[in-house]
Amino acid sequence: MNPTFSPDVQAFQKEFAGVLRELVPADWAGAGTLPREEYDPFAERIRKELYERGYIGISWPKEYGGRGLSAEYQVAITEELTRHKLPQAAMSDVFSMQMFGSTLLAFGTEEQKQRFLPRILSGEIKWCQGYSEPQSGSDLASAATTAVLEDGQWRINGQKIWTSTAHIADWIFVLVRTDSEAAKHRGLTLLACPMDQPGIEVRQIKQISGEADFNEVFFTDAVTPVENTIGEVNDGWRVATALLEHERGGAAAVLAIRFAEELDRLEELAREHGRNHEEGIRQRIAWCRARVLAMRLMGYRALTRTLSGEGIGPEGAMNKFFWSEYQRVLMDLAMDILGESVLTLEGRRPAIPDGPDAPGAPTDSAGWITGYLNARASTIFAGTNQVQRNLLSEKILGMPREPKVETNRSR
């Protein structure tokens, strides 16, 4: 099975490939060859060029700055960006566009869409996600950060943690408790809150890889106007879980493209270390190749559902579970191929902390070792894989719900 795009999308993809050739020199070897400190500015510059030429958010409605095209065109763009070894997007776009922007299209008021969506597309404002708390990780509904409505604005107090890109974000979409007397799933509200104010403090968290992409965010009488309520008050659980579907499954149709490029580099690593003829290594690489193909087909199935007007649904949990388990197996294999080389960090560390490194990245030990350390978190963020297993068993297999442990907040 080798799915292909429609003739119109193929013509569009050819046109887009011509645009990309204008943006890079003839001897271009890939964004992964750039020094780490140069990668983010380069990604932002490419994003700006693509936005000005009308290739950012092409599936969004025209009235908000998009082109009103189908998701099939977005997948075609991703394929060409990978083929030309260019960044897929700026890191903040995962939160700004894939997660918050998609949710705002579904739940936002017309005023909110007009105010936020064009500025998200242009890159003028960057967003981060305020979900997890020190005592509310997998049990998101137990979130305790509060918001009280006073004189037309919400006053927020509490703490969020593991907040990626909060140190560079302009806004945060934050899940807060607005009714302490209601059942824990029914007293939550999703708010859009500006980060640049005295009531918000951001502290970066240094990770095992040496990076500091995660943050703690402290709210002390932080405020946001009532018109920044996303969806209905106390209906935040429905909005928040819809947003999680975009986080877990929204990129299903394009992730396999990135993983295929990464696996090609792993095969090159095996050749460089003289391990490519070993039966055990070859079998494990073949296993990985089969999983990447499966991810591609799962992605096309998700794309088909989107084109048919269906939501992502619980299959988003399956996509997240599948790729994150695969990522850890792949990185274990990389460590085995490196052998004694894992004892030293040599070369360039990855520019992308989440998932495969930038296309064209070298096979340096530092890249694979840092990727291995980052992959430890892949089965935890965006909902632990234990949570994904529960979702799959209940929503797809129809198994009984897991017994819930009652807390003081539960009713």
Alpha helices per DSSP H over 273-410: 279-307, 315-338, 365-375, 385-391
What is the arithmetic mean of pLDDT over 124-148? 89
What is the arithmetic mean of pLDDT over 97-126? 94
What is the arithmetic mean of pLDDT over 189-211? 91
Higher per-residue confidence, 371 vs 319: 371
Whether the predicted pLDDT of 176 surpasses 90 = yes
Q: Residue 376's pLDDT band (boundaries 50, 70, 90)?
A: confident
% of the chain residues with pLDDT over 90: 49
Higher per-residue confidence, 250 vs 108: 108
Q: Residue 190's pLDDT band (boundaries 50, 70, 90)?
A: very high
Q: Which DSSP state fits 404?
A: P
Tally Cβ neighbours within 10 Å of residue 152.
8
Higher per-residue confidence, 263 vs 209: 263
Whether the predicted pLDDT of 55 surpasses 60 = yes
What's the whole-model pTM score? 0.82
- Element housing 201 (H / E): strand 200-205
Whether the predicted pLDDT of 270 surpasses 80 = yes
As beta bridge partners, residue 130 has: 174
**Within 13 A of 21's CA, how many CA atoms are on the CB side?**
7
Provide the pLDDT for residue 250.
Answer: 47
Provide the pLDDT for residue 300.
Answer: 77
How far apart are alpha carbons 330 and 61 in whole angstroms?
38
Question: What is the set of active-site residues?
Answer: 247
Whether the predicted pLDDT of 248 surpasses 50 = no
Provide the pLDDT for residue 2.
Answer: 59
